[in-house]
Chains A and B, each alone.
Chain A
Amino acid sequence: QVQLVESGGDLVRPGGSLRLSCAASGFNFSDYYMSWIRQAPGKGLEWVSYISSSGSTIYYADSVKGRFTISRDNAKNSLYLQMNSLRAEDTAVYYCVGAVAALYYFDYWGQGTLVTVSS
């Protein structure tokens, strides 16, 4: 069955860095368009970043542009999010999500990994 398993969430100090990973299985990962979505504690959902199936097209939300970098390795069925210059407002559960087509709704979701930015 389809699985997206995130890892890498942790407690980090403001200004620090963290790399999230997402391991995909049960579907043809290289055909899917992937994004990261986050949810601050008790809050709603916020799209963070998108990468096309080939990795050639990338988008970021304004709130993370210049600080976060999305990437993927289709040979390893993996998605990544490098997060630098972390701020308290980046504290959230980060979900790895997949879409069957470009710029589409998200039909596959991981269980999430918690990133806490605090001194």
Chain B
Amino acid sequence: DIQMTQSPSTLSASVGDRVTITCRASQSISSWLAWYQQKPGKAPKLLIYKASSLESGVPSRFSGSGSGTEFTLSISSLQPDDFATYYCQQYNRYWTFGQGTKVEIK
């Protein structure tokens, strides 16, 4: 099984900050990685697929990078609507999610 590890688990930041979340895979997954945003009581929402492709309608302040085993999700200038939990997911072999990173207000 492919394990996905995100860091940090919690991130405290202010509006306007640049934020970076890291996701590591236990083995190479090429670029078969997606990022999702989840708000309390809601379903996850797709942000990024194939490691760096922005889903339609997602603000350009979100970006993804990486390949192989190390990936990052960046938010260039944190907005009030961005405080949420973020999950990475590999789809190289079946599907596995990271444990999540909660972005909270500092």
- Interface residues of A, Cβ cutoff 8 Å to B: 35, 37, 44-47, 50, 59, 61, 95, 103-107, 109-112
Quote the shortest CB–CB distance from A20 to chain B (angstroms).
Answer: 15
What number of A-B contacts does a CB cutoff of 8 Å give?
Answer: 47
Residues of B at the A interface (CB closer than 8 Å) are 34, 36, 42-46, 49-50, 55, 87, 89, 91, 94-100
Q: List chain B residues, Cβ under 8 A from A105.
A: 34, 46, 49-50, 89, 91
Q: Smallest Cβ distance from B47 to chain A, in angstroms?
A: 10
In the bound assembly, the distance between CA atoms of A105 and B34 in angstroms comes to 6
Q: How far is the CB of A4 from chain B (nearest CB, A)?
A: 9
**Docked-complex contact B34 and A46, CB < 8 angstroms:** no
- The 13 sampled A-B contact pairs (Cβ below 8 Å) are A37-B95, A44-B87, A44-B98, A44-B99, A44-B100, A45-B44, A47-B95, A47-B96, A47-B97, A105-B46, A106-B89, A109-B45, A110-B43
